[in-house]
Amino acid sequence: MDFRLPLGAWIEDFSDFITKSLSAFFDVIATIFGGFYDGVDWLFSTPPFWVIIIVLVVLGFFARGWVFALGTAIGLVVVLSVDQWENAMHTLALTLVAAVIAVIIAIPVGIWAARSSAASSVIRPILDFLQTMPAFVYLIPAIILFSVGVVPGIVATIIFAIAPGVRLTELGIRGVDSEVVEAGQAFGASSSRILFQIQLPLARPSIMAGVNQVIMLSLSMVVIAAMVGAPGLGKDIVQSLQSIDLGLGFESGLSVVILAIILDRLTASLGGGTKKRRVKGQKPDASAQEAADEAEGTAEAGPKRAPAAGISG
């Protein structure tokens, strides 16, 4: 077959056009992301190691109890003992920066998709594309647009990790009981009030599960991002691959696992508070409960309960 679709050439031409036309925009993005990372990295790298350990242990204790706090302390001491503390802090900073930006983008997009079927029909194929594309492919446009360093690593990580945040936000909002939403509408609640006082509180477990997945994917991607100059544990992993250094690879890989377990358990605990209430059908938000009660009273015993609701004056 002599014919060949010049798709690669079209992509290269489009990339050249974007690079030349929007270079100032990408410079601003690089400055913002780079400054954000520098600030968070300074926050983790400047204090003595024991300060960071104490803070994380305290967070672990209040989140999941003394067993997890003890495990957190042991894990961080192991990271320190294999001389990977500085790299671990760089990786933690890079992960949190990318995850925060991804969540800031993902939750509004997920809300938009949940409230608009047309938007959902457009967003879902894009998410499918992002989730099926190999992770290494994201590094190529990131290098072209932002050169090498920490910024292309952040950008590639955001693109790689954003999909589950959007999907689970949309799923959580769409999964809210329609009767509760209709009750709020029937009693004059505005669209924004229904969103913030009924839908988002009830969708919190699903949304937090999405946040958890975004953080986990961010951590896995920042390791790969070391191939484009991103700092952290991934740099030692890449070095161990190049030199076939099993010991260095195991130490840095174990440090990544320890960070992943700590971040996973901490973020998972944030969404556990309302899960039990949601399963049982209870409404954590007072206005949602009131709306449901009023709707039930109107449907079942209108003649009896209506006077009681209107005698206040």
* Mean local confidence (pLDDT), 21-41: 89
- Name, in order, each residue with C-beta under 8 angstroms of 169's C-beta and a sequence gap of 6 or more: 106, 107, 109, 110, 111, 113, 114, 203, 206, 207, 210
Task: Give the start-to-end residue ranges of the domains of the chain.
Answer: 36-47+85-294
CA distance 241 to 250: 11
Across 7-11, 27-31, 100-104, 308-312, least confident range: 308-312
Q: Comparing 306 with 196, which gets the higher pLDDT?
A: 196
Q: How many CB atoms lie within 10 A of CB 228?
A: 22
Q: What is the pLDDT of residues 267-278, one digit of tens each?
A: 887 765 433 444
State the pLDDT at residue 91: 92
Mean pLDDT of the chain: 82
Q: What is the pLDDT of residues 110-127, one digit of tens each?
A: 999 998 889 999 999 999
Q: Which two tokens stand for residue 67?
A: 């067993």
Q: Comparing 146 with 98, which gets the higher pLDDT?
A: 98
For domain 36-47+85-294, the CATH architecture is: Orthogonal Bundle (1.10)
Q: Which two tokens stand for residue 1?
A: 């077959």
% of the chain surpassing 90 pLDDT: 38
pLDDT-based confidence at residue 279 (cuts at 50, 70, 90): very low
Contact 60, 265 (CB under 8 A): yes
* Mean local confidence (pLDDT), 160-172: 93
